[in-house]
Structure 1
Amino acid sequence: MSQEPHDPNAKASENPSPKPPEKKSSTVVRVAVTVGVLGVGLLLLWTLVGEELYEQVQEYRAAVVDLDESAPVGYLGLNYRKEYNARPPRFHFEEDGKKLLWASIGDGETPDYYDVTEAEFDPQVLQGGFGRDSIPGVDYPILEPPDGEVASNIGRKNEVAGVELDEGPRAYPIGAIQKVEVVNDLDGEIPIAVVYARGPDTVRVYRREVDGQPVTLGTSGYATGEKVPMLYDRKTKSLWLPEGDGGALICVNGEHVGIRLAEYMEAERLPWGEWIGRHPDSLVLVGNDRDRPIPAE
């Protein structure tokens, strides 16, 4: 069998020789470029979206902590009674041989004064002088269970003063009683007063009865140099100061001078979450019913 003669003019493409394999370095370069492009894209995506998302997460976490540690804005009726807030240039002075302490604007034309000539305290140590009830003591407490509309917003780390009354457990948020200084409350039929002293940062609970009759306490607008509030009773306008050790509330001027209102029980200070964990049936102070007038006595 004869062989076909070889044609030296035949095209090389008709009998191609195999291509040499690509160099690995070019593959590495392409991978590196791809990774680089992806990296730039991810960086751009992080810049546009991720950073904002991160900040939102941090803000959310901070808001959760703040909610857990804060008191609700919605406490009811605890704002200042601005109509009393008219401090005179001088609030204690002598006139006609008497020592007088400014009490309130009265009818707007004739101011009221306390006669403190024989008072069992030195008026010179007092600070403030903004008038009776300029700080709005609570006369008609609004109480809610823990799942109440306002109570459910109290942060679990919010500090309260808790008492185990005969009528049941009750809590007074520190943030609320700091605003009002005194809460006139009841344990069943027993009248009690919860008093906050700003200077020593103490909460005391007193039985507010004189000769078997309840007295309603209000803020005088004065405090001692140690920021212990001076209170007054609504019927006789007598002035009251807590003892330094918290043992009693003592009348230091007026009709009831010398009378002591005994401490009713001790209050326990702890986080709200811990208190309701121990007392899930507790009531808590959430406001003051301002639709009712300031008591006359």
Structure 2
Amino acid sequence: MRLALALACALALATAAAAEPERWRAEWPRTDFSTTSVGDWSEIVSGGPPRDGIPALSDPDFLPVAAERRLSDREPVIAVELGDAAPRAYPIRYLMWHEIVNDTAGGLPIAVTYCPFCNSGLTFDRRLDGRTLTFGVSGKLRASDMVMYDRETESWWQQALGRGIVGEMTGRELRLLPTWMESWAQFRERNPEGLVMAQPDWPRAYGRNPYAGYDGAARPFLYSGEMPPHGIPALARVVRVGERAWTFDRVRREGELREAGVTISWSEGQASALDAQSIGQGREVGTIRVRDGRGRNVPHDVLFAFAFHALFPQGEWMLPK
């Protein structure tokens, strides 16, 4: 693991022992720590950066697809194709450094999120109870998954669940939207008139993976929970639909699966964002699409197996018959 990641890990381990609300109140004076679904505060640890040390973005600029010159063909993007709104691509090269983009697509307030440590890339409807929430990065991790917070109530949210875990919004869930991760070339070919998020105006090494080699590691970052069952490697990718998970290896081997009311397909062309130092040079992982019986896109996630096991402990592993 790269030196920066090792140093961050050491820092986080040093602060993990102090993972209790009393230590957080000065930084989070508006958060209601008396309301929570977290059974053991030690589950929440510092990921290294402080609150907003990873700066979430809001209302980014976009370019026409034809004008984009920075992205390589195999680089992953999160594709957002909702209703009549112009299709939008959110490159992982930017989400790697910002993790959350608060945006509006076709009048719908959305939060496009990506957690590098569990590879979860999800898009949520930001509306709840008649108000629109704006999300930031807390700097905390739980089961190695990003803990987001909303700026309106300063409640904390588990990113891979879209669920409030601390504060006023505890137990509330954001609506998950049917978006997916694919290569830039795949998005561009399908949406030549679409839009792509422009490079943010921040001093970051966009296009570089700061966690080189991470998805080939034996253990996840800052994770002390159980490993996945059935001999599945901790950092193997799985496709999650609801509380069911299919391994990438199975989908890739069979090409297409029709189970539990969905069709899951795999196609080549997408690089791993968490392999090589240059995101576009990552090893082949391919693209997953999930559709229902009428061919409509289904909300899903592609995350590491350990995260599914930790966050969906009663989840069903869809193994070969």
Same fold (TM over 0.5): yes
CA distances 1:36-83 after superposition (whole Å, capped 9, x unpaired): xxxxxxxxxxxxxxxxxxxxxxxxxxxxxxxxxxxxxxxxxxxxxxxx
1:134 corresponding residue in structure 2: 53
Cα pair distance change 1:261/1:101, threshold 3 Å: farther
Amino acid at match of 2:146: P
Aligned partners of 2:101 and 2:112 also within 8 Å: yes
Distance 1:146 1:116 in 2: 44
What is the rounded CA distance, in whole Å, between the counterparts of 1:264 and 1:100 in structure 2?
36
Specify the alignment match of 1:174 in structure 2: 92
SS in structure 2 of the partner of residue 147 of structure 1: helix
Corresponding residue of 2:36: 119
Instruction: Show the counterpart of 1:252.
Output: 165
Listed one character per residue, the Cα deviations across residues 200-219 of structure 1 (whole Å, up to 9, x for unaligned) are 31211110111121100000
1:188-227 alignment runs, 5 A limit: 188-225=106-143, 227=144
- Taking a change above 3 Å as real, the CA distance of residues 284 and 101 of structure 1, as seen in their structure-2 partners, is farther
Q: 1:142-196: per-residue Cα shift (whole Å, max 9, x none)?
A: 2111233xx2221122221212123111111122112111111111221111111
Retained in 2: the 8 A contact 1:141–1:289? no
- List aligned pairs for 1:268-279, cutoff 5 A: 269-279=181-191
Following TM superposition, by how much is the alpha carbon of 1:289 offset from its aligned partner in structure 2, in angstroms?
6.2
Deviation at 1:131, TM superposition (A): 2.2
Counterpart of 2:65 in structure 1 is 146
Contact 1:251 1:259 in 2 (8 A): yes
Which amino acid in 2 is paired with 1:249?
G
Percent identical residues? 29
Larger radius of gyration: 1
Is the Cα–Cα contact under 8 Å of residues 101 and 116 in structure 1 kept in the other structure?
Answer: no
Q: Which amino acid aligns with 2:162?
A: L
- CA-CA distance at 1:91 after TM superposition: 6.9
Structure 1: distance between partners of 2:17 and 2:169: 21
Indicate which of 139, 147, 150 corresponds to 1:230: 147
Q: Which amino acid aligns with 2:92?
A: I
Change (3 A) 1:115 1:101: farther
- Structure 2, unpaired ranges of 5+: 1-10, 203-321
One-letter amino acid matched to 2:166: N
SS in 1 for 2:185: helix
- Structure 2 length-normalised TM: 0.52
Partners of 1:221 and 1:93 in 2: CA distance: 15
Distance in 2 between the 1:199 and 1:93 partners?
Answer: 22
The question of 1:100 aligning with 2:22 is answered: yes
Question: In 2, are the aligned partners of 1:99 and 1:115 still within 8 Å (CA)?
Answer: no
Aligned pair count reads 188
Tell me if the contact between 1:102 and 1:131 (Cα under 8 Å) persists in the aligned partners: no
Query: Gapped runs of 5+ residues in structure 1?
Result: 1-85, 104-109, 291-297
Question: Which residue in the other structure is 2:74 paired with?
Answer: 157
CA RMSD, Structure 1 to Structure 2 (Å):
2.7
Change (3 A) 1:274 1:184: same
Structure-2 change in CA distance of 1:287 and 1:123 (3 Å): farther
Higher helix content, 1 or 2: 1
Partner residue in 2 for 1:287: 199
Aligned counterpart for 2:176 among listed residues 228, 240, 263: 263
CA contact (8 A) 2:124 2:174 kept: yes
C-alpha separation between the residues in 2 aligned to 1:141 and 1:257?
29
2: CA distance between counterparts of 1:92 and 1:238? 22
User: Which secondary structure state, in structure 1, belongs to the residue aligned with residue 177 of structure 2?
Assistant: strand
CA distance in 2, matches of 1:212, 1:187: 18
- In structure 2, give the amino acid aligned to 1:283: L
* CA deviation map 1:98-129 (0-9, x unaligned): 833527xxxxxx64454534421233122325
Match of 1:187 in 2: 105
Q: 1:31: which partner in 2?
A: none
1:233 and 1:173 map into 2 onto residues whose CA distance is 23
**Following TM superposition, where does structure 1 have runs of at least 4 consecutive aligned residues deviating by more than 6 angstroms?**
none
The one-letter code of the counterpart of 1:266 is: T
Offset, 1:93: 4.8
